[in-house]
C-alpha cells in the first residue's frame, strides 16, 4: 500500500512537470503551436472522414 501511494505521488510529479514544460513551450511558440494543432486537428478529421 505504501509503495502504491509513493508511486502515485511520483506519477503526479512527473505529470505536473510534463504539463509545465508543455505550457512553457506553448507559451514560447504559441503561434507555431496553434498552427500545428490546427494542422493536427485537420489531419485527424481528414482521417476520420475516410
Total domains in the fold of the chain:
1
Handedness of CA 26, 30, 33, 37 (dihedral sign): positive
Contact 26/33 with Cβ under 8 angstroms? yes
pTM for the full predicted model: 0.43
Q: What is the pLDDT of residues 13-39, one digit of tens each?
A: 999 999 999 988 877 777 777 788 899
CA triple 21-15-8, angle to 5 deg: 160
pLDDT for position 5: 67
Domain coverage including residue 8: 2-49
- pLDDT at position 4 is 66
DSSP string, 5-49: HHHHHHHHHHHHHHHHHHHHHHHHTHHHHHHHHHHHHHHHHHHHH
Amino acid at each position: 500500500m505504501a509503495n502504491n501511494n509513493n508511486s502515485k505521488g511520483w506519477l503526479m510529479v512527473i505529470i505536473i512537470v510534463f504539463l509545465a514544460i508543455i505550457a512553457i513551450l506553448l507559451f514560447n511558440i504559441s503561434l507555431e503551436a496553434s498552427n500545428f494543432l490546427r494542422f493536427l486537428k485537420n489531419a485527424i478529421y481528414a482521417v476520420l472522414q475516410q
